[in-house]
Structure 1
Amino acid sequence: MEPLAGYDRFDVRAAHRGVLVAASIWYPASDRIYAAPVGGNAVFESTMALVGAAAAPGSHPLVLLSHGSGGNMDGLGWLSSQLALRGALVVAVNHPGTTSGDSSPRRTTRLDERAKDLSAALDTILADPSFGPLIDGKRITALGFSLGGTTVLDLAGGRFEREKYRDYCKTFADQGDCVFFRKGGVDLDRLPEGMEADVRDPRISSIVAVEPGMTDALSDDSIGAMTLPVQLIGLGSPDAWRGVDVSASGSDLAARLPDATYEMIRPAVHFTFLGLCKPEAARLLAEEQDDPVCTDPEGSDRAAIHTRVIERISRFLGLAAVPGETSAAHQ
């Protein structure tokens, strides 16, 4: 029988938000309960989970997961479930203002709010009577994709300078993030002060940033001060998007961080990190003139790329392998 992770949802009360922040947790389950699909929609396949199952006892590493712009907490279930099967607790939130169905260019510039969402989620889960006692407080990792990568770097002490970001968009005006802000009428000369706020959370012990955005705006001082281990992952075929390129051809963040490991995974594109797509999804997206989130480069296998990502992150986190498991659990 296919192993499945446990899954549940909870709400986060965050002082900086006027609404509750929706959150979820994936975890190793101690027993089977009914299985249900999580995170599927007209475009993406769901991930099966044991909803509400009892959690496996012991001390587990915790991963705080931040989705990308327009994403959601369940959209990366392919990753969360596999990390949970390897022994981690994975907590994710829907970031208000930058999540599915609620994605605003103006609110996206409030980088500090996203980082505070994760800190508030951490407060909540540590205080939870069921899950709090299971958390190894010395192994708390923040993991993010795209704008989520920006968020976890912010949480690690990175400081994003408004003037540097404005100048980046003047130079690379055709990049997706800059186009998004321009279409939303964002004045890059008047970015919110909170973009530069210090939101570092000292409870975080390591970072995984997959295709992080806005890294050209990071201050040199804050990069040098980020001494915790950082795993950077890029997806590029044949070339990475400039806006999320942390190699020498981009912001060169990978070489500038004191303790960073960088891996480029090919053949893939930025959107390959998203979930497996349903058979008719690419056609549906084309008809709606939406982003080609289901179109991978020639020769690429999204499920195989996901497996490589899972293995890379699991090694970085020191997680155990799943006996007999060779690929992510999709259905």
Structure 2
Amino acid sequence: MHNPTSTLPATAARQSFSKKLLKWGGIVFLTLVLLAGLLVSAFYWTALRTEQPVGFQAVRAVDANGKPFGLGIWYPTTAATSASWTGSFLMQVATNGPIAGTSLPLVVISHGTGGGIPSHADLAMALAAAGYVVAAPMHSDNYLDTSSVGTPAYFTGRSQQLRSTIDFMLSQWPGHAQVDANRVGAYGFSIGAFTVLTAAGAKPDLRGLAKYCTDHSEFACDMLRQSNSFLLGTDLPAGFDHFAQDQRIKAIVVAAPGLGFTFSGKDALANVNAPLQLWQGDKDINVPDATNAKVIRDALADRVEFHSVPNAAHLSFLVPCGVLKMLPVCTDPAGFDRQQFHDTMNPLVVAFFTKQLAQP
């Protein structure tokens, strides 16, 4: 005959196990909540901030061919700010806040290959806090899609897109009446530096790229080979090396300029009349100084304000990473403090634009 009491020990054991499971489950849950809270707090306390309030808008513009592209815009405001997520870090900004001021100077920012609108967000915020309107286009070779690398869109298309950005900011942006069309500057990093220089009047020798890349080992050449660029062939399309100068650009800052070797021709930089501030990391193996930044320095001589950055690599010019320092784009040489460097560089860039774009 079955004895009901014989099941009591098993039942008690199951109940005890369930209690322990609930207890440990609760501990694990609370631990995860605590860790999530700490992570959120870390993101918040490392958010990009400025002493003066900065507004931010994400909008869409169109290029000369009617193709839309994203545009990030920072500007001075009087509105209260809050933390805004950019995808990998937070900015303390007033999203879509009102624009403060009149006759504001404009700076456009051209990111590097695989970058995007937030690539130089800390510099953009520093400029906006100092009274600038800053516009950063999402070029067609961005972190979401690099398929345009090596195509005409990677060269003349970028330059045209920068011009379209200025067009939009001076005529279509809702706050365009508060922007001074006579005070326009441009900042470019890596291929973005090439973009800014060509928009400012530089004429690169793209026809000689195939031979150069045969004779030299350069990161840019590796990228062109990987993308099967038309430039490494013999069938070159008409107009592929036609760059229209934008006379509205009155001052330029370039960092770690990519494809600098294409400006080695005698008259390649002859039409660049805007004053130029040039930055180069002395540990940059992607864009070595000797074949890139030095070419520009030698051609423009005393017209260049040059800054060599000790122990800086190519990616050291990108926005400081906050808590996500494990990401590949956050890698710097041992002992290099990216945040400390940007705390030094950004005020010098602001001061340069302020001097060169001063109202008459």
Percent identity of equivalent pairs: 27
| Residue 206 (structure 1) aligned with residue 251 (structure 2) | yes
Which runs of no fewer than 5 residues in structure 1 stay unpaired?
A: 286-291, 320-331
> Does the 8 A contact of 1:37 with 1:49 survive in 2?
yes
Q: Which of the pair has more CA radius of gyration? A: 2
In structure 2, the CA distance between the partners of 1:223 and 1:266, relative to structure 1 (3 Å rule), is same
TM-score by length of structure 1 reads: 0.83
Determine whether 1:294 maps to 2:336: no
In structure 1, distance between residues paired with 2:261 and 2:291: 12
Matched, 1:9 2:58: yes
The 5 Å alignment of 1:230-269 reads 230-237=276-283, 240-241=284-285, 243-245=287-289, 251-257=294-300, 259-269=303-313
For 1:223, the equivalent position in structure 2 comes to 269
Distance between the aligned counterparts of 2:325 and 2:335, measured in 1? 19
Q: 1:136 to 1:127 in 2, by over 3 A?
A: same
Q: Would you say the 8 A contact 1:212–1:244 is kept in 2?
A: no
| One-letter code aligned to 2:241 | E
In 2: Cα distance, 1:158 partner to 1:76 partner: 23
- Unpaired segments of 5 or more residues in structure 2? 1-49, 356-360
The CA distance in 1 between the partners of 2:299 and 2:348, in whole Å, is 21
The one-letter amino acid paired with 2:226 is K
Once the two structures are superposed, what CA deviation does each residue of 1:147-167 show, in whole Å capped at 9, x if it has no partner? 100100010111121233223
CA distance in 1, matches of 2:77, 2:312: 32
- Structure 1 match to 2:145: 102
Distance 1:166 1:117 in 2: 25
Which has the bigger relative contact order, CA under 8 A and spacing at least 6? 1
- Letter in structure 2 aligned against 1:207: I
Q: CA deviation at 1:293?
A: 2.1
2:70 to 12, 18, 22: 22
Output the CA distance in 2 between the equivalents of 1:119 and 1:161.
21
- Alignment-derived partner of residue 37 in structure 1: 84
Residues of 2 paired with 1:294 and 1:236: CA distance? Answer: 17
SS at match of 1:310: helix
Q: How many Å separate the matches in 1 of 2:175 and 2:137?
A: 16
When residues 305 and 317 of structure 1 are mapped into structure 2, their CA distance, relative to the original with a 3 A threshold, is: same
Which of the two has greater helix per residue? 2
Contact 1:10 1:23 in 2 (8 A): yes
Which amino acid counterpart does residue 78 of structure 1 have in structure 2? D
The 10-residue stretch of structure 1 (178-187 or 58-67) with the greater mean CA deviation from structure 2: 178-187
Structure 1 residues 210 and 129: CA distance shift in structure 2, 3 A: closer
1:140 and 1:204 in contact (8 A); partners too: yes
TM-score normalised per structure 2: 0.77
RMSD: 2.3
Following superposition, the deviation at residue 244 of structure 1 comes to 4.8
Output one character per residue of 1:17-38: Cα deviation in whole Å (capped at 9) or x when no partner.
Answer: 5x31111210011222x52324
Deviation at 1:51, TM superposition (A): 0.4
Distance 2:212 2:86 in 1: 34
Tell me which amino acid in the other structure corresponds to 2:146: S
Deviations 1:218-242 (A, max 9, x none): 23213122122111111223xx336
Partner of residue 61, structure 1: 105
